[in-house]
């Protein structure tokens, strides 16, 4: 088919909704979530069809926890036949043998690897995410096998006061590639808002400190602000999420806004016009929620 999307389209592929953690802000994990886990054959078809339809330049495996699927690496190799690939993982299931296979793949083909960990302090991390020690073990395996990887931190009320120490610790011990992500106003976050949600003013002050911390530019610090200082969102335009079963949404946050399904017979026609960003309008949010604007 003709390529209708920007050549830099990035796809987040949720290979499973299953997870061995139950993070308090997670929009994926739910004990009641019902869905059909795809077989290897079905997931292979989903990956191939997704790559044929979108011709992305990058597919990132996420979930749920991608390594819960025993065929995660085999599936990654299939996606890697089409474009650059990456994995967003909670790190708990990374063993030496997985790290070794990933290292060999990274050397030959390139691989972006990001592990989520919200703090260098066990108690702070485990109050929101859990399994600090197992994540640390996974990270150690990646270090032992000399993989390039990044660490992703979600900024919350719990880790805000120690965020600079966390950046320093991660930078010194793990990697200079650190992603700091804002908490997004999902239903799950609203349920736990009193524990997690940082009021706008406080959030702004923390961001000023984070960006100031990196003014020497030693970190490869990923943050959600454009040069203009406005929080960016490129959902639908430069990135889309494909869910288990093939539903396409603007991002993994807006999982109710189903734009189409990869397997629809008229998918090419449906995708002639890139969908418009409109989903967050309908999502309830804490009263003070607004995209943060900051001087960077
Ligand atoms: S590790 Fe990721 S998918 Fe699993 S519960 Fe936490 S945020 Fe959700």
- What whole-number distance in Å separates Cα of residue 275 and Cα of residue 265? 18
Per DSSP, 106 falls in state: H
pLDDT value of position 258? 81
Which residues sit opposite 112 in a β-bridge?
Answer: 86
24 Cα: distance to centroid of ligand 1 (angstroms): 9
Q: Which residue reads 């009641």 in tokens?
A: 32
Residue 59 near residue 51, CB atoms below 8 Å? yes
Nearest protein Cα to ligand 1, atom 2: 64
Ligand 1: atom nearest CA of 64 is: 3
pLDDT value of position 227? 54
pLDDT value of position 260? 85
Q: Which two tokens stand for residue 178?
A: 């650190």
Please write down the HEC assignment for all residues of 140-205: HHHHHCCCCCEEEEEECCCCHHHHHHHHHHHHHHCCCEEEEEECCCCHHHHHCHHHHCCCHHHHHH
pLDDT value of position 223? 67
- pLDDT tens series, the chain, 296 aa: 445 455 578 899 999 999 999 999 887 876 667 778 899 999 999 999 999 988 999 999 998 999 999 999 999 999 999 999 999 999 999 999 999 999 999 999 999 999 999 999 999 999 999 999 999 999 999 999 999 999 999 999 999 999 999 999 999 999 989 999 888 767 677 778 889 988 878 888 898 888 888 877 777 777 666 555 555 565 656 788 899 999 988 777 767 778 889 998 888 777 666 555 445 444 444 454 454 554 44
Which of 21, 30, 16 is CA-nearest to residue 68?
16
* Residue ranges of domains in the chain, CATH in brackets: 10-270 (3.20.20.70)
pLDDT value of position 246? 92
Q: Which two tokens stand for residue 227?
A: 């040069």
Q: Which two tokens stand for residue 207?
A: 């961001």
pLDDT value of position 296? 42
Per DSSP, 45 falls in state: H
pLDDT value of position 278? 47
Residues framing ligand 1 (Cβ under 6 A): 19, 21-23, 26, 28-29, 63-65, 90, 129
Ligand 1: atom nearest CA of 25 is: 7
- What whole-number distance in Å separates Cα of residue 284 and Cα of residue 264? 30
- What whole-number distance in Å separates Cα of residue 200 and Cα of residue 179? 20
Residue 90 near residue 65, CB atoms below 8 Å? yes
């Amino acid at each position: 088919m003709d390529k209708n999307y920007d050549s830099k389209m990035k796809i987040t592929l949720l290979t499973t909704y299953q997870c061995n953690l139950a993070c308090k802000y997670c929009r994926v994990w739910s004990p009641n979530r019902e869905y059909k886990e795809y077989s290897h054959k079905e997931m292979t078809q989903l990956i191939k069809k997704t790559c044929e339809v979108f011709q992305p330049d990058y597919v990132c495996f996420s979930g749920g926890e991608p390594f819960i699927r025993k065929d995660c690496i085999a599936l990654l190799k299939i996606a890697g036949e089409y474009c650059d690939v990456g994995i967003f993982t909670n790190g708990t299931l990374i063993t030496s043998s997985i790290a070794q296979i990933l290292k060999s793949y990274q050397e030959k083909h390139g691989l972006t690897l990001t592990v989520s960990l919200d703090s260098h302090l066990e108690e702070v991390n485990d109050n929101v995410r859990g399994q600090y020690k197992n994540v640390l073990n996974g990270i150690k395996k990646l270090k032992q096998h000399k993989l390039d990887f990044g660490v992703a931190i979600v900024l919350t009320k719990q880790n805000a006061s120690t965020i600079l120490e966390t950046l320093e610790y991660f930078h010194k011990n793990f990697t200079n590639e650190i992603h700091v992500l804002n908490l997004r106003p999902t239903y799950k976050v609203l349920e736990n808002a009193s524990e997690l949600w940082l009021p706008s003013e406080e959030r702004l002050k923390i961001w000023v400190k984070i960006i100031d911390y990196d003014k020497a530019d030693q970190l490869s610090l990923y943050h959600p602000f454009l040069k203009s200082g406005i929080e960016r969102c490129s959902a639908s335009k430069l990135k889309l999420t494909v869910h288990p079963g093939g539903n396409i949404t603007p991002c993994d946050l807006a999982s109710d806004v189903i734009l189409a399904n990869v397997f629809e017979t008229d998918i090419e026609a449906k995708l002639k016009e890139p969908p418009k960003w409109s989903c967050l309008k309908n999502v309830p949010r804490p009263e003070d929620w607004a995209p943060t604007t900051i001087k960077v």
